Amino acid sequence: MSEKLSKRIIEIAKAKSMNRTRRLRKSEGIRRLVRENQLTIDDFIYPLFVEEGKNIEKEIVSMPGIKRYSLDKIDKELDEVVALNLPAVLLFGIPSEKDEVGSETWNDNGVIQQAIRHIKTKYPSLYVITDVCFCEYTSHGHCGIIHENDVHNDDTLVNIAKQVVSHAKAGVDMVAPSGMMDGTIATIREALDHTGYGDLPIMGYSVKYASAFYGPFRDAADSSPSFGDRNTYQMDPANRDEGMREATFDDEEGADILMVKPALSYLDIIRDLKNTYDRPIACYNVSGEYAMVKAAAEKGWIDGERVMMESLLSMKRAGADIIITYFAKEVAKVLSRN
């Protein structure tokens, strides 16, 4: 490049100096002042796996750092959650007995019901949310009652109502139905309103895709289907407009919070919901997303902490008000030292 051209480029750059956006990146002080999105501890919900039995503290191999606990072992984990000032936990139960319909889900002395009572008694400041589904409780691993090798939508709704009322009686603060049956939110709202629990909020798994990113969770919760897949009741990853229809149904039926699951591959859907609905928007940073970061960091291929923070920030930037993530404890520690 000639000297004349080089001088001309510099002259043009100087003439455009009013547009130098780098001025607002000059130091950490100015970057903090103009930062558009920030993560706070209050953004996070921490998932917990509670297994029926005693003396259980079992590492989930595909999710390093995450364990399944029996109630007699879970206090160590809950003590840390409370000490880190995390506001909420999302409970998943693993029962000792399963059957065709998942009847342990509405057993008032079931593993989740016991966990709710334990936490609300010993850790009253902790906000307790329960996953409302059947896959961990059914012998076939699907999310409801099976008719002709598929989940029967309306028969499953009857059992969903039984499950949420049992959770409500145990003292849960919020229910989060994940099974993607049509009419779930309306069914739950009706069941709660007519049993004296009208103030109990619902976080709908409103846009839940049939995703390959759930793989490690199925190890964690013993919830792999024994036949077929979940493509008839979870969404096709190719579909965007369908997600808006699903969210609209949940919004109209009375969901208090709308969720997108998974998060990282569906940031566009999070933004769609944020732009459309006047409700809090949640997302679920799922097990496969967590496991990939952990595995790559273990290999030394990435800076695990920075990738964790950047990934979670992308969800916040996309519009998520609430982030469910297995990273919750780790991110709380990072935020507390910054």
Mapped onto helix, strand or coil, the DSSP state of residue 226 is: coil
Tokens 């998932």 sit at which residue? 47
pLDDT of residue 281: 98
Query: Are 204 and 177 a contacting pair, CB within 8 Å?
Result: yes
**Same domain (yes/no): 186, 324:** yes
**Same domain (yes/no): 81, 16:** no
**Same domain (yes/no): 29, 145:** no
**Same domain (yes/no): 94, 119:** yes
pLDDT of residue 187: 94
**Same domain (yes/no): 127, 25:** no
- Between CA 292 and CA 238 the distance in angstroms is 22
pLDDT of residue 215: 84
pLDDT of residue 137: 84
Q: Point out the catalytic residue in the list 67, 73, 98, 261.
A: 261
pLDDT of residue 100: 73
- Between CA 252 and CA 180 the distance in angstroms is 15
**Same domain (yes/no): 29, 90:** no
- Between CA 52 and CA 72 the distance in angstroms is 10
**Same domain (yes/no): 2, 79:** no
Q: Residues near 124 by Cβ (< 8 Å), separated by ≥ 6?
A: none
pLDDT of residue 118: 97
Instruction: Tell me how far CA of residue 285 lies from CA of 8, 12, 313, in angstroms.
Output: 49, 45, 11
In CATH, what number is assigned to the domain containing residue 106? 3.20.20.70
**Same domain (yes/no): 19, 153:** no
Q: Point out the catalytic residue in the list 98, 208, 294, 316.
A: 208
Mapped onto helix, strand or coil, the DSSP state of residue 149 is: coil
pLDDT of residue 230: 61
The type of residue at 232 is T
Candidates 83, 88, 80, 77; CA nearest to 42 is: 88
pLDDT of residue 242: 96
- Written in H, E and C, the secondary structure of 48-64 is EEEECCCCCEEECCCCC
Tokens 């558009």 sit at which residue? 36
Query: Are 95 and 103 a contacting pair, CB within 8 Å?
Result: no
Helices and strands, counts by H and E, the chain: 12, 12
**Same domain (yes/no): 29, 55:** no
**Which structural domain range is residue 30 located in?**
1-35
- Between CA 313 and CA 126 the distance in angstroms is 24
pLDDT of residue 249: 96
- Note if 208 is an active site residue: yes
**Same domain (yes/no): 31, 179:** no
Print pLDDT tens along the chain (338 aa).
677 767 776 676 666 656 778 888 898 898 888 888 999 999 999 999 999 999 999 999 999 999 999 999 999 999 999 999 999 999 999 988 888 777 788 899 999 999 999 999 999 999 999 999 888 888 676 676 776 677 767 788 888 899 999 999 999 999 999 887 889 999 999 999 999 999 999 999 999 999 999 988 777 655 566 554 566 778 899 999 999 999 999 999 999 999 999 999 999 999 999 999 999 999 999 999 999 999 999 999 999 999 999 999 999 999 999 999 999 999 999 999 87
pLDDT of residue 203: 97
Bond prior to 262 in cis (omega within 30° of 0):
yes
Question: Number of folded domains in the chain?
Answer: 2
The type of residue at 160 is I
pLDDT of residue 257: 97
**Same domain (yes/no): 125, 30:** no
DSSP structure string for 20-81: -GGGGGSSHHHHHHH-S----GGGEEEEEEEESSSS-EEE-TTSTT-EEE-TTTTHHHHHHH
Query: Are 220 and 291 a contacting pair, CB within 8 Å?
Result: no
**Same domain (yes/no): 22, 45:** no
| Planar angle of CA 74, 75, 76, nearest 5 degrees | 95
- Between CA 212 and CA 140 the distance in angstroms is 19
